[in-house]
Amino acid sequence: MASFATHLVVVVVTMLFAAMASAEMLQDVCVADLSNAVKVNGYTCKDSTQITPEDFYFKGLANIAATNTSTGSVVTGANVEKLPGLNTLGLSMSRIDYAPNGLNPPHVHPRASEIIFVLEGQLYVGFVTTAGKLIAKNLNKGDVFTFPKGLIHFQKNIANSPASVLAAFDSQLPGTQSLVASLFGALPDDILAKSFQLKHKQVKKIKLRYAPKK
C-alpha cells in the first residue's frame, strides 16, 4: 500500500511539473498594462480592445548610444517595460554599445540566459561557473556567444574602435544585478572589509562611487 501511495505521489508530481512546463496562453496576447500598479509576478493584461501596433513596436535599438560613461558601455533594453507586447512571451532583447576599450562590468541576469551577436568590433567576453572556472573567448564581428542564466559574466571591447552587440534573453524582464555596484552600494562596511580583506577607509572610498538604492 505504501509503495502504491509513493508511486501515486511521484506520478502526480510529475504530471504537475509537465503541466507547468507545457502551460499555454489562454489568449492571443497579454499586452502589459504598465499603468496598473497591481503586479502578480509580472504585469496584468491590457484590455484587448485597447491594444495598438505601438504595443509591439520599439525602435530604440536602431541607433548607437553615447558611450561616455564611467565604464565606457551603454545597455539599451527592449524588455516588457519598453515593449508591452512582450508580456508573458518570455523573450526580450538589448543592444550594448562600447567605447574603445569599454567594459560591460561583471553582472548577472537572475531570470534569463543570454545570447549575444557581435554587430561590430572585437570583444573579450566570458562567464564564471559556480566552480569558479572562467569560460572566456575573443569575439569578432558576426560571432555569437551565450551566457547561462544566473552566472557572472562580462564583455570588454579589446579594440581602439567602438563595438556593438545585440543580446537576446529568454525572459521578458531578465533583470540585471551589477556585482560591484550591488555590493558596495548596499552592504555594510564591516561585511565588505572582511569579505575583500580591505581596510575600512578603503571601503568607504570605494562606496563613495556607488550611491545606495532607496
| 200 carries a ligand binding annotation | no
Quote the CA–CA distance of 19 and 39 in Å, as a whole number. Answer: 23
For 41, the grid coordinates are 509576478
Strands (E), the chain: 73-78, 92-98, 103-108, 114-120, 123-128, 134-139, 144-147, 152-157, 163-169, 177-178
Strand, coil or helix: 206: helix
Average pLDDT over residues 32-42: 82
* Confidence category of residue 159, pLDDT binned at 50, 70, 90: very high
Strands (E), 50-90: 73-78
What is the residue type of 193? A
The predicted-structure confidence for 121-155, as pLDDT tens digits, reads as follows 999 999 999 999 999 999 999 999 999 999 999 99
Quote the CA–CA distance of 185 and 154 in Å, as a whole number. Answer: 19
* Confidence category of residue 209, pLDDT binned at 50, 70, 90: confident
Is 13's pLDDT higher than 70? no
Quote the CA–CA distance of 96 and 116 in Å, as a whole number. Answer: 9
| 7 carries a ligand binding annotation | no
Is 99's pLDDT higher than 90? yes
CB 96 within 8 A of CB 155: yes
Domains, in order of start, for the chain:
55-176 (2.60.120.10), 177-213 (no CATH)
| 24 carries a ligand binding annotation | no
Is 9's pLDDT higher than 90? no
Quote the CA–CA distance of 163 and 152 in Å, as a whole number. Answer: 21
For 133, the grid coordinates are 572556472
Quote the CA–CA distance of 154 and 106 in Å, as a whole number. Answer: 5
Quote the CA–CA distance of 89 and 148 in Å, as a whole number. Answer: 19
Quote the CA–CA distance of 172 and 92 in Å, as a whole number. Answer: 5
Quote the CA–CA distance of 112 and 80 in Å, as a whole number. Answer: 14
Global pTM?
Answer: 0.83
Is 115's pLDDT higher than 60? yes
* Confidence category of residue 116, pLDDT binned at 50, 70, 90: very high
Average pLDDT over residues 188-195: 94
